[in-house]
Amino acid sequence: MSPGPLNVVAPAASSSRDAARRPAAAHSSSARPDELALALIGGGTPVALALASTLVVVSAPAERLAVALGLCVALLLTHTLVNLLADRLPPPTRVGVELARHAVSLALLAVAPSWLGAGVPSWALGLAAVATVARSTRRVELAAGLVVGYALAVIGGVVVAGGEPLAAAVTGTAVLITGALTGALIVFVLTRSAALLDAVSRMQSEADERSRAARDMQLAREDLERHIEERTIALTRANRALQREVQERRVAEEQALEASRIKSSFLANMSHELRTPLNAIIGYSEMMLEDVEDLDAGRARDDLGGIRTAATNLLEIIAGVLDLEKIEAGKLELRVETFPLAELIESLATATAPLARKHNNTLKLKHARELGNITTDRTRLHKILSNLLSNACKFTRDGRIELRVGLTVENQRPWYAFSVADTGIGIPRHMFDRLFQPFTQADESPTREYGGAGLGLSLAKHYCALLGGDLSVESTPGEGSTFTVKIPREPVDYKKDGLVLVSLY
């Protein structure tokens, strides 16, 4: 009998770790495999003893039948009572009871051949009793000693009763073999049951983990569904709010467009009503000036000149407002023509000279001897430069105003650069962003020194954009300003430059 495996008992297979992992399985199953096997062996021992006792009683002589019955009954009662009480007793008491049982069994087996006769098979009782050794104790040394003790008791009893030594040796060997086989069977059952319990434990653990994972997934799914529902509600509310805002903005935009249309219609209708009397005032003042010159009335001539100048300025303001409205509506038409640039510069110098002389300023022109021709809208370019020159004259006192004209090439395209520089009051840098907004001036206080409607720079910026150019400014307060206009020598053809692709089909 192998001593090692007897120390491997079923409780070792079901460790505290496994018990913690399988709390439900320990209570749900009725009995473990090792317990069932041990219970089967323990229950089979009385049956084996009963069969062996029957064989002994049948083989006993008539005069010793009573002794045989008493001996067999004593052995059966001893084993039956110990089987019933052993599982209910604490471990120390149970060990003592088991040892007492084996001591009684050894004593009865030793005297049985002498009491019943050497021919009675009392060794059968030893075979049945030795099977209980492996179940009674987990200690290998004690179990081995008890098995050997049973073998010696059987051999000694047969020898003392006058039996054959060979027969005694055979019966002793049979008892040893029976005890070893029984122990090996129990070790096998305990080992396999431990492996089975470990496999069941792993399966139960995996099942528990799957169950926990399923629960976690269910909770995560419910949480996700809740978040999705909350997010959907929030998005729905945000979408409704956005729809309301879009609707409100659409209504506001429609109202603004309607207001702009009404304003445009009003300005278009009023243009005739405003221009007609102004033109009449200008015409009558010119006629009266001619008459006054014939009469040589100097004072009346000055008054009529003031009337004509005021009417002309008012007409220019109205024309500027109308042009700005057309630009915003995208309805301003350009009249592109090719003309000598020198003619335009000469015209500007003639018109600006009186304004420069009014504030004791010096007007300087700087350009190449031959400027060549330019193809653009003459009237719009004239207004751009005249606005810049008139502003320079208005904001400069006892200074210098310079108009520089030059031809440059950028991106393989010839450009004319017009720079209007003055030594006037200058413009603060924080005003640059609003400088080209309509109806805006650097000084907007009610007591401002310089007049004007604030349309000149805004119109100049728009005109430059329409002509394919740009308008920029550099200024230092107290030192002066420089406005630079860049206009292409020829109109920009976006199709020819590849900026607009046209596909005909």
Q: ∠419-420-423 over CA atoms, to 5°?
A: 130
DSSP per-residue codes, 425-478: S---GGGTTTTTSTT--S--STT-SS---S-HHHHHHHHHHHTT-EEEEEEETT
365: confidence class by pLDDT, cuts 50, 70, 90: very high
496, part of any domain: no
Same domain, 337 and 323: no
Same domain, 420 and 295: no
Residue 81 confidence (pLDDT): 79
Q: Which residues, other chains included, contact 429 with Cβ-Cβ below 8 Å and sequence gap of 6+?
A: 475
Sign of the torsion formed by the C-alpha atoms of 407, 408, 411 and 412: positive
* pLDDT exceeds cutoff 50 at 23: no
What are the pLDDT digits (tens) for 72-100?
888 888 777 777 777 677 877 777 777 88
What are the pLDDT digits (tens) for 33-47?
555 555 555 555 677
Average of pLDDT values for 5-26? 41
Same domain, 230 and 363: no
466, part of any domain: yes
Residue 232 confidence (pLDDT): 92
Which of these three, 331, 365, 399, is where a domain ends? 331
Same domain, 98 and 145: yes
Q: The CATH number of the domain where 459 resides is what?
A: 3.30.565.10
Max CA separation in the chain (angstroms): 191
Same domain, 169 and 298: yes
Average of pLDDT values for 303-314? 66
User: Distance (Å, rounded) from C-alpha 11 to C-alpha 35?
Assistant: 10
Same domain, 235 and 300: yes
Which of these three, 275, 310, 331, is where a domain ends? 331
The average confidence (pLDDT) of the chain is 76
Residue 418 confidence (pLDDT): 95
344: confidence class by pLDDT, cuts 50, 70, 90: very high
User: Distance (Å, rounded) from C-alpha 333 to C-alpha 37?
Assistant: 111
Q: 3-state class of 406 per DSSP? A: strand
207, part of any domain: yes
Residue 404 confidence (pLDDT): 94
305: confidence class by pLDDT, cuts 50, 70, 90: low
pLDDT > 90: percent of the chain: 21
Same domain, 281 and 358: no
User: Distance (Å, rounded) from C-alpha 20 to C-alpha 228?
Assistant: 38
Q: ∠36-38-42 over CA atoms, to 5°?
A: 115
User: Distance (Å, rounded) from C-alpha 91 to C-alpha 97?
Assistant: 10
Residue 459 confidence (pLDDT): 82
116: confidence class by pLDDT, cuts 50, 70, 90: confident
Q: pLDDT higher for 428 or 268? A: 428
Residue 388 confidence (pLDDT): 92
* pLDDT exceeds cutoff 90 at 286: no
Same domain, 225 and 358: no
Residue 300 confidence (pLDDT): 64
Q: pLDDT higher for 394 or 176? A: 394
Q: Which residues pair with 403 in a beta bridge?
A: 365, 420
Same domain, 316 and 342: no
Same domain, 289 and 345: no
Residue 435 confidence (pLDDT): 78
Q: In which residue are the tokens 């060794």 written?
A: 123
* pLDDT exceeds cutoff 70 at 9: no
What are the pLDDT digits (tens) for 460-502?
888 888 898 999 999 999 899 999 999 999 887 655 555 444 4
Q: Are 123 and 36 in contact (CB under 8 A)?
A: no
Q: pLDDT higher for 282 or 269? A: 282
User: Distance (Å, rounded) from C-alpha 220 to C-alpha 224?
Assistant: 6
What total of structural domains would you count in the chain?
A: 2
Average of pLDDT values for 257-271? 67
| Region of poorest pLDDT, from 36-45, 127-136, 187-196, 364-373 | 36-45
DSSP per-residue codes, 89-155: S-HHHHHHHHHHHHHHHHHHHHHHHHHH-TTS-THHHHHHHHTTHHHH---HHHHHHHHHHHHHHHH
| Two structure tokens written together for 436 | 């080209």
* pLDDT exceeds cutoff 90 at 401: yes
Q: Are 391 and 355 in contact (CB under 8 A)?
A: no
53, part of any domain: yes
* pLDDT exceeds cutoff 50 at 376: yes
Residue 56 confidence (pLDDT): 78
Which residue range forms the structural domain that includes residue 355?
A: 333-442+450-488
Q: pLDDT higher for 492 or 245? A: 245
* DSSP H or E stretch at residue 409: strand 400-410
What are the pLDDT digits (tens) for 122-169?
777 777 777 777 666 667 677 777 788 778 887 877 777 777 778 778
Residue 67 confidence (pLDDT): 80
Residue 76 confidence (pLDDT): 80
b vs e for 440-461, b when ≥16 Cβ sit within 10 Å of the residue's Cβ?
A: ebbeeeeeeeeebeebbbbbbb
Same domain, 15 and 151: yes
Same domain, 117 and 214: yes
On the CB side of 132, how many CA atoms lie within 13 Å of its CA? Answer: 29
* pLDDT exceeds cutoff 80 at 195: no
Q: Which residues, other chains included, contact 502 with Cβ-Cβ below 8 Å and sequence gap of 6+?
A: 495
What are the pLDDT digits (tens) for 410-450?
888 899 999 999 999 888 888 877 777 765 555 544 334 55
Q: pLDDT higher for 2 or 50? A: 50
Residue 8 confidence (pLDDT): 37
Residue 29 confidence (pLDDT): 44
